[in-house]
């Protein structure tokens, strides 16, 4: 199941538990059991994905084992361009008064891709789920 849907589903089920179970302590225990089971299932899915990734990486064909490194290199080059080369190009254009406009990357999309590659994409969902997310 997509981690983005787990929080709202647990919220809805938690409200149903509140209505069905009159005892507050029992209702809280049921909600915690639901959360624990959800977390176990998420962990199991993540562990299976790690196993699949490990098997893909062992494959002798570059078309199977090579796509992750390719995406990693593309992301690395894009980040280097966006945060190192592009500012230097802008500085060079301004310093030498050259009439060109260096191409800009889409920083928002780039960071989404890099965070997904690094496995950091689910952290925001976890923060919201644990109700520790800041809303700025």
Closest to 79 in 3D by CA, of 119, 114, 117, 118 = 114
Mean pLDDT, rounded, for 4-17: 71
Mean pLDDT, rounded, for 58-73: 75
Query: Quick one: pLDDT band at residue 18, thresholds 50, 70, 90?
Result: confident
3-state secondary structure of 55: helix
Inter-CA distances, 38 with 5, 71, 99, 133, Å:
11, 31, 57, 19
What ranges do the domains of the chain cover? 1-60, 66-136
The per-residue pLDDT for range 107-133, each reduced to its tens digit, is 777 777 777 777 665 655 666 666 665
The answer for residues whose C-beta is within 8 angstroms of residue 13's C-beta and 6 or more apart is: 31, 34
Query: Quick one: pLDDT band at residue 134, thresholds 50, 70, 90?
Result: low
The answer to whether the beta carbons of residues 5 and 26 sit under 8 Å apart is: no
Q: How open is the CA angle 67-122-63, to the nearest 5 degrees?
A: 10
Mean pLDDT, rounded, for 51-80: 79
Largest CA-CA distance found in the chain, in angstroms, rounded: 75
The per-residue pLDDT for range 20-58, each reduced to its tens digit, is 887 888 888 888 888 888 888 888 888 888 888 788 778
Task: Tell me the whole-structure pTM to 2 decimals.
Answer: 0.45
Burial class (CB in 10 A: 0-12, 13-18, 19+), 95: exposed
Lowest mean pLDDT among 31-35, 64-68, 70-74, 87-91: 64-68
């Amino acid at each position: 199941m997509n981690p983005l849907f787990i929080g709202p589903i647990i919220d809805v089920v938690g409200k149903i538990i509140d209505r069905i179970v009159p005892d507050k302590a029992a209702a809280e225990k049921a909600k915690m059991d639901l959360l624990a089971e959800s977390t176990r299932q998420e962990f199991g899915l993540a562990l299976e994905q790690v196993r699949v990734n490990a098997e893909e990486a062992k494959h002798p064909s570059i078309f199977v084992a090579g796509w992750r490194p390719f995406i990693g290199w593309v992301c690395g080059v894009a980040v280097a361009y966006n945060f190192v080369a592009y500012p230097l190009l802008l500085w060079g254009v301004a310093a030498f008064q050259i009439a060109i406009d260096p191409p800009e990357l889409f920083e928002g999309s780039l960071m989404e891709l890099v965070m997904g590659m690094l496995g950091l994409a689910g952290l925001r969902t976890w923060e919201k789920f644990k109700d520790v997310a800041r809303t700025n």
